[in-house]
Amino acid sequence: MAAPPNDQARPGVEKVTAANRRRSLPVRKKVLFSFIVTAAFFVAVELLLAALGVRPLSSSEDPFVGFTSRSPLFEEVQTSDGQTRLRTVETKLQWFNRQEFPFKKEKNDYRIFCLGGSTTYGRPYNDGTSFCGWLREYLKAADSKHDWQVINAGGISYASYRVASLMDELIEYEPDLFIIYSGHNEFLERRTYSQMMATPRALRETAAILSRSRVYSSVHSLLSDSGSGQSQSSSGTYVLPEEVDAILDGSVGPDDYQRDDEQRSQTIQHYRFNLARMIELAQSVGARVILVNPAANERHMSPFKSQHKDGLKPEDVTRWKKLIAQATTHQESGEFEEALISLDQAIVIDPLYADTHFQRGEVLFELNRYSEAKQAFQRAMDEDVCPLRILSEMRPVITEVASQHDVPVVDFQELLESKTKTGIIGDEWFLDHVHPTIEGYRELGLSLFDELQSQGIVAPESQWTDAARQQVNAKVIEGIDERAHGVALRNLGKVLSWARKYEEAGRLAQLATTKLSDDAEVHCMAGYDFERKGQLDLAKKSYQKAIQVRPNYAQAHYNLGHVHRKSEEWELAAQSYQRAIDSDPHYPGAHYNLGLLYQKANRLDLAAECFETSTSVNEKHPGSWEQLGNVRLNQGRIDEALRHLELAIQLEPNLASAHNSLGIAFAQRGQMQKAVASFERALTISPQFDAATQNLERARQMLK
């Protein structure tokens, strides 16, 4: 029988095994080696895809929003000398300045695109006095070695996601530099991130990282094409119309806004994404980027909408209102320390009401406590439920994204602070909440010029002196059309008035009158500003100037009638209302107010005629039905009075005076139970309604 095998019978076995152990790699090194090989493979594929022109998903698709369609901003046109140029599409001129530049870029051309919203556009003016216009003139005067093409691509009401989408087109036009001023419009359009919020945060962040890879983007594109048969955006995006559909444009002003902290957080995240996306788009074609930290009016623009915090008890609201009233009285009397005490107590009750912080900033400013005042003004902007100015938490996003991508930032906010004695920016630099004065635009244009010089992009020649710069300044200012300037101020004032920013609108109207002496609308706006301030004689003069310019201007006649009423000039008031009606038989409120005057003069038939006409002009006006009911009540036409008063209450259930009149009508018909119920309802609505209290007591006595 053969002996069983053993190592001693095979002397080479032990040596071979030991050698194998020495050559075998540890598991840790095997994993590392595999990782390196895999990574090298994907890097090679990534480089190959880059060479083939494949773009990362993050630069071609926004995971937050999509658009119903995208039409180009510029189109090719042939000039009379046979050149091909790019010109702003005619249908886009509602949102953009008219711009034109050569299709083919020559060797010495340097092409700069300025991007952003209405501040980039140059509102309320246009490209000529925008920061783009100022920069263009400075560059041309300082460096003749280049053909400086500074193209203003700022879109009115454009937020960062629309700007990023626009850059998809602009990178095809051989850009050298993008200047991006964005941040004020992020909350202007209604959109939702509900689908994105349903995705776990870790998964969202992983997808965001992968979306910057061309490999992932290629796989994503293949899967999308095979799954639907056509290219589509990432699921969960909120689709917006091709052009801006601002919340404010489809509402009655800021009232449509409500506090939503989750929406706010997602909007800021979206802003961060778009800043990074824009930089990556620019860098994908070798273009440089300069980000601008936007500036805003802190001191002379109160919040657009304030809202109490949730869960505030009625007694807390009552206490808060009392403190605000006390603070306002102290402030108007110059007792600023006392006003501050009341405001601080009000803020303890409700720290989220934006207007309280703004008022506190005004008081602190008067006390020369400027650093605290600045903090209060900024808090007012941050608590604004209708945030049409960049939030404080968005500013670090700009610097962080710029740092991550090695991009310079021109800090416009800091620039204006340094040029303001108190460090608090107001109407010395701004016409409204975000649109600078012409001088403000110039300062930004000059600051951008200095940044280009520091980067070596522009090399000023010997002729570039302070005198040369002053010549540029004079040239731009002389080129301003004063009438167009006045129209711009007037239109901006109208927008602010619509947003119920009456004080700011009035300031612009008064300024516009110096440039548009023959504009009836401007004089009417100025008159309303005087009237609001209680300066009735000046208001009359302004309205009369408006009427001199436009004799059939119904609004001016109507407003003049109001001033005469306030001055107790009853006959003149009636004449003005009648002239408003003669100018426009359907002018809102004119028939109603004329009816009130006839009612006061006990000319009941004429009053009834006016109220009836008023209801035919606007059948939804509860006041007209109420006063028509009151006239019929005084004429003893009780059945008619009841019908009209009940209709008024149907339109406005909380009209205490109508309930009181209805009670009187029921009492005159002997229906005392209904009369008591009506008087009680009037007092429920308005507990201090003395007439209703007396009527209720009499009605109850008659029931006994």
pLDDT in tens, 334-350: 999 999 999 999 999 99
DSSP helix/strand/coil, 152: strand
Contact call for residues 176 and 113 (beta carbons, < 8 A)? no
Distances (CA, A) of 581 to 381, 519, 554, 565, 614: 42, 22, 7, 17, 11
Q: What is the pLDDT of residue 302?
A: 94
Q: What is the pLDDT of residue 63?
A: 58
Do 574 and 693 fall within a single domain?
yes
In a domain, 562, yes or no: yes
User: Greater confidence, 235 or 154?
Assistant: 154
pLDDT in tens, 142-157: 999 999 999 999 999 8
Do 370 and 505 fall within a single domain?
no
Q: What is the pLDDT of residue 244?
A: 57
Share of the chain above pLDDT 90, in %: 74
| pLDDT at 213 exceeding the cut of 90 | no
In a domain, 235, yes or no: no
Phi/psi for 491 (5° steps) reads -65, -40
Q: What is the pLDDT of residue 47?
A: 65
pLDDT level of residue 482 (50, 70, 90 thresholds)? confident
Choose one of 360, 382, 404: the last residue of a domain: 382
533-537: long-range contacts, CB 8 A cutoff, minimum separation 24: 533/506, 536/563, 536/566, 536/567
List the single range of 16-20, 64-68, 366-370, 575-579 with lowest mean pLDDT.
16-20
pLDDT level of residue 481 (50, 70, 90 thresholds)? confident
In a domain, 204, yes or no: no
Mean pLDDT across the stretch 686-699? Answer: 94
Contact call for residues 113 and 178 (beta carbons, < 8 A)? yes
Mean pLDDT across the stretch 633-654? Answer: 96
User: Greater confidence, 371 or 41?
Assistant: 371
Choose one of 382, 407, 425: the last residue of a domain: 382
Look up the CATH number of the domain holding residue 340.
1.25.40.10
User: Greater confidence, 19 or 117?
Assistant: 117
Q: Is 454 exposed, middle or buried (0-12, 13-18, 19+ CB in 10 A)?
A: exposed
Contact call for residues 114 and 151 (beta carbons, < 8 A)? yes
| pLDDT at 60 exceeding the cut of 80 | no
Distance CA 313, CA 315 (A): 5
pLDDT in tens, 252-305: 457 778 899 998 999 999 999 999 999 999 999 999 999 999 999 999 999 999
Residue-wise DSSP of 617-664: H-TT-HHHHHHHHHHHHHTT-HHHHHHHHHHHHHH-TT-HHHHHHHHH
| pLDDT at 5 exceeding the cut of 70 | no
| pLDDT at 202 exceeding the cut of 70 | no
pLDDT level of residue 563 (50, 70, 90 thresholds)? very high
| pLDDT at 197 exceeding the cut of 60 | no
How many domains would you assign to the chain? 2
Q: What is the pLDDT of residue 231?
A: 36
Q: Show the tokens assigned to 396.
A: 């670090």
| pLDDT at 141 exceeding the cut of 50 | yes
| pLDDT at 192 exceeding the cut of 80 | no
In a domain, 302, yes or no: no
Do 532 and 645 fall within a single domain?
yes
In a domain, 498, yes or no: yes
Mean pLDDT of the chain: 87
In a domain, 488, yes or no: yes
| pLDDT at 69 exceeding the cut of 80 | no
Q: What is the pLDDT of residue 31?
A: 65
Mean pLDDT across the stretch 67-82? Answer: 84
pTM equals 0.76
Q: What is the pLDDT of residue 64?
A: 59
| pLDDT at 66 exceeding the cut of 80 | no
In a domain, 569, yes or no: yes
Domain with 347 in it: 314-382
> 411-435 in b/e burial notation, b at 16+ Cβ within 10 A?
bbbebbbeebeeebbbeebbbbbbb
- Residue 204, amino acid: R
| pLDDT at 45 exceeding the cut of 90 | no
List the single range of 27-36, 500-509, 514-523 with lowest mean pLDDT.
27-36
Distance CA 364, CA 581 (A): 48
User: Greater confidence, 417 or 80?
Assistant: 417
| pLDDT at 14 exceeding the cut of 50 | no
List the single range of 58-72, 336-350, 567-581, 687-701 with lowest mean pLDDT.
58-72
Q: What is the pLDDT of residue 208?
A: 46
> 506-529 in b/e burial notation, b at 16+ Cβ within 10 A?
bbbbbbbbebbeebbbbbbbbbbb
In the chain, % helix, strand, coil (3-state, to 5) comes to 60, 10, 30
| pLDDT at 456 exceeding the cut of 50 | yes
| pLDDT at 411 exceeding the cut of 70 | yes
Mean pLDDT across the stretch 9-21? Answer: 48
Residue indicated by tokens 């559909």 = 245
Do 368 and 492 fall within a single domain?
no
| pLDDT at 38 exceeding the cut of 50 | yes
Distance CA 554, CA 551 (A): 9
Determine the distance from the C-alpha atom of residue 580 to the mean position of all C-alpha atoms in its chain, rounded to a whole number: 35
Q: What is the CA radius of gyration of the chain?
A: 35
Choose one of 358, 382, 406: the last residue of a domain: 382
Residues 6 or more apart in contact with residue 82 via CB below 8 angstroms: none
Q: What is the pLDDT of residue 68?
A: 58
In a domain, 556, yes or no: yes
Mean pLDDT across the stretch 106-116? Answer: 96
pLDDT level of residue 703 (50, 70, 90 thresholds)? confident
Residue indicated by tokens 């602009």 = 170
Do 513 and 649 fall within a single domain?
yes
